[in-house]
């Protein structure tokens, strides 16, 4: 079993839709949770970075963490064609020898069509 599971999609939605992206994880030691956006032929770009359970909002993006269920989500409101990219969840076990190591999900390919 992978430490982080993410549905690879692909996911295709019309412009203006609300997009929900999800990851589950098995390692209780994960303490920090990130969402990255990766455009084709580019490096990943950090979108959201959360620590505690609950919601964090940044513009059209909302990150949600439920540590009790080991489940994280990213919601994109009013999706735009420019949101078309691969979205990767990533997690950090901040303790011990794994400090700083990012463990990634497989990535979800999102296409927003006009």
Q: Binding residues for other proteins, per CB under 8 A? A: 6, 32, 34, 36, 41-46, 49, 88, 90, 92, 94, 97, 99-107
Residues 30/22, Cβ–Cβ less than 8 Å: no
**Minimum CB separation from other proteins for residue 14, in Å?**
26
Which C-beta is closer to other proteins: that of 19 or that of 23? 23
**Minimum CB separation from other proteins for residue 77, in Å?**
22
Residues 81/15, Cβ–Cβ less than 8 Å: yes
**Distances in Å between the alpha carbon of 106 and those of 24, 49, 63, 72?**
11, 18, 18, 14
Which C-beta is closer to other proteins: that of 50 or that of 62? 50
């Amino acid at each position: 079993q992978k430490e982080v599971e993410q549905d690879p999609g692909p996911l295709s939605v019309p412009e203006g839709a609300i997009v929900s992206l999800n990851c589950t994880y098995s390692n209780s030691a994960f303490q920090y949770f990130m969402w990255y956006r990766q455009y084709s032929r580019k490096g990943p770009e950090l979108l959201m970075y959360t620590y505690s359970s609950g919601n964090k909002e940044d513009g059209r993006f909302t990150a949600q963490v439920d540590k009790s269920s080991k489940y994280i989500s990213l919601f994109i409101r009013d999706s735009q064609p420019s949101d078309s990219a691969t979205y990767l969840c990533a997690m950090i076990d901040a303790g011990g020898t794994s400090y700083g190591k990012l463990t990634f999900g497989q990535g979800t390919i999102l296409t927003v069509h006009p």
